[in-house]
Chain A
Amino acid sequence: MPDDLQPGQHLSPDQLGAFAENALPAHERLAALAHLSACTDCRQAVFLIQQSDPALTITVPETPRRTWFTLPQIFAASTAALACSLILALILHNHHQEPQPITTAKLQAPIAPPPPATTAAPSSTAVTPPKPEADKSVQLTQTSTHTHLPEPAKLKPQPLPEKFIAPQPRIGASAGISSGRFINSAQQPLEAKAAANAFAAPASSAQASSGIGGAVPLPAPPPPESRALRAYAADNLQKDLPPASTSAALAPLAPPGSTMDSSAVIVNGASIQGIPLDANARLDSITAAAPIKLPSKLPVASQLNSTGRTLVLDTAGSLFLSLDHGKHWTTVNPQWSGKAVRITLAAAPARLYQVQPQQAQTQQAPVASATFELTTTTGDVWVSTDGLTWHTRK
């Protein structure tokens, strides 16, 4: 150390050079800093070293401070949000498209005399117009029981679930009604609906001829979409049911006195075939999960339960009747030709509106008798009211 710099008081050139080059160990660097903070000469010397060294004049790049909202961060966040939205949309889309088991679906439609055509094979693509008998009965009903009709609000059909409307183009197309028409007609007043389709034309004309007009909206005959819906529900509901479903139940929610056919379809999966929705046709729980032990020991091909009578058709075409909910079975003698393949339930629609004077006075609900229909392999339809005696439908 040169004598000029007072050895022992100042940093040596070796220490200064090493300090400027950051080559001192930590403890010696602290000691050098302590000396530099107190020694102006050494401080000036070390700054001169830095000034003379081009390598030491390189600016230390400043560490970029973290900013909260930078373009990459915003882009990443927006991308993540978009991806989440797409995933959610896909999930919801698939959730809507997959055939879900129908848990509860209210089918409300104005009670109308279901023409016999509705009891035809649901798979048929043409819906036959109602017969003149039904029209007459409708006229009678409208003229005689208009004071007991339900309120117009009750007659307003509720919007149907899309599950029952959307897959309907086959029937709708056959009836000249598009699927969108189903939705629209279901939301229209009855009069408009009745005038809009051919099936309701007689009812509309009868309404006009009776002078009632639109003052008291009478229950119109079931619109074709309603009947088509019933036929579809009877025919195709089984297709839509998931295999995991085990039971099905159809129960009308409307009170017995109501002329509205309000049936709550609670379907957990079962073989439901040809079940027309009818107010008085109370279909009790049809539990497929509980196997029915038939005398023939054969599996059940078709069954229905109405007014305490349970009719079951096995795979061999034998028909059995039970009056105690399946505890005891009675074999119905085949009065038809061919093999019975299907039994359905059809109520006489005209009778639903035939309210007897006594019933009108006591405000009791009209009682409609259920009609069982049996279809054979030849296409003949046999009808019965008690399940034992069958007649060919005319």
Chain B
Amino acid sequence: MDATTPQPGNLALATGPAPVMLAEIFPVSNSLHAEIQTIAAQNSLSVAELTHALAGIGSKLNFGMPPGSSATPAQQESFFRALQLPDLALAQACALGREPAWQQFLIRFRTPLRQAAIAITGSSSLGEDLADSLYAELYGLSDRSGVRRSPLASYSGRGSLMGWLRATLAQRHVDHHRRTWRESPLPEPGTGFEPAAAATPEIPAELTRLSQSLAQVLEQLAPEDRFLLASYFLDQHTLLEIARLLRVSEATISRKLKRLTTDIHKQLLKQLQASGLSRRAAEEAMFTDPRDLTLNLRTLLQTSPPTPFPVQQSNPAA
């Protein structure tokens, strides 16, 4: 464990162990400084190390302010106070390879991490494998230059450290699926799985117009509306799952979806009429079978590569 090794996001380690007070970098109150001292001492960190870590996080995230705006000293202090300082100090200490911090980390997160991995994978064995693989990764791997890099150093302290660990587990699980879903066996010959015909039929003008109008309408949606549509119609998550994630009630999500589909219907009618169709023709176009459309709503709503989950492969023309 080399505490003087420069670490990304750790200004103290990058600039040396010079004792720098946070108040010298950012104006913070004495109470916050005393809290930083206490937390640093509890996690085998020097005040300078934790101070430089906080300074790096504040600068990176612009103290929680939108890009282009500068935070006032009060906003800076409120940003620091909103951070999970004990978790941040523990993560920084673990990233620096402090043994007491790792012991504390294992005491605190071994069991929850295992449970979270099992919950994510849906399997006990897969969960334990996922959790065990994460420990090694969290400790850090040395790069070509011999510098050990721990992903714990990227923890900013805005959420809990356990949340960060869950997110890491989830990403690892998604990455694992992405790599393994292509390994499914090919169907037997003659079972009906035939490659699509190369020749595509001629698309009627009305369908082309409808596809263009729908694309325009979906592009104008707000990010949250697009997230709702994608989560409900593409990923087929339940209203309850979406409501829990967005921390609103299930009925609120239901109302939003209903209003959203109604608005999309109206806007689509307007778009079709604006494109030259009469109202009656536009209404008739709304009854077009979606399977006749070459429009891929998934590509409209998302730009990510093909989904790794089987549930996302259904109804590609939806």
Contact = CB atoms under 8 A, between A and B. Distances in A.
A50 B227 contact: no
Nearest to A35: B223
B170 A46 contact: yes
Contact of A17 (B137, B166, B227, B231): B166
Interface string A267-296: 000000000000000000000000000000
A20 B251 CA distance: 20
Contacts, number: 181
A41 interface: yes
A59 B247 CA distance: 8
A52 to B, nearest CB: 4
A14 B154 contact: yes
B245 A41 contact: no
A2 B304 contact: no
Contacts of B234: 40
Interface string A12-40: 11101110111111011011011011111
B159 A23 contact: yes
Given A23-B158, A40-B312, A49 B170 contact: yes
Given A17-B167, A45-B174, A52-B166, A37 B247 contact: no
A137 to B, nearest CB: 96
Most-contacted residue by chain B among A1, A10, A21 (CB, 10 A): A21
B56 to A, nearest CB: 13
A248 B117 CA distance: 103
Nearest to A13: B167
A20 B226 contact: no
Interface residues on A, range: 35 or more
A362 B163 CA distance: 120
A214 interface: no
Given A17-B164, A44-B174, A53 B226 contact: no
Given A25-B64, A30-B223, A34-B226, A53 B164 contact: no
Contact of A60 (B115, B166, B235, B244): B244
B175 interface: yes
A47 B174 contact: no
Q: Is chain B's interface secondary structure helix, strand, loop, or mixed overall?
A: helix
Interface residues of B, number: 61
A24 B167 contact: no
A5 B304 contact: no
A62 interface: yes
B235 A40 contact: yes
A52 B240 CA distance: 15
8 contacts: A2-B175, A4-B175, A4-B178, A5-B175, A21-B159, A27-B66, A37-B227, A52-B170
Interface of A: 1-2, 4-5, 10, 12-14, 16-18, 20-25, 27-28, 30-31, 33-34, 36-53, 56-63
Interface of B: 64-67, 115-117, 119-120, 137, 151, 154-156, 158-160, 162-175, 178, 223-224, 226-227, 229-231, 234-235, 237, 240-241, 243-245, 247-252, 301-304, 307-309, 312
Given A40-B302, A52-B115, 16 more contacts: A16-B171, A17-B165, A17-B166, A18-B159, A18-B163, A20-B167, A22-B247, A40-B307, A42-B304, A46-B167, A46-B245, A49-B163, A49-B167, A51-B119, A53-B162, A62-B252
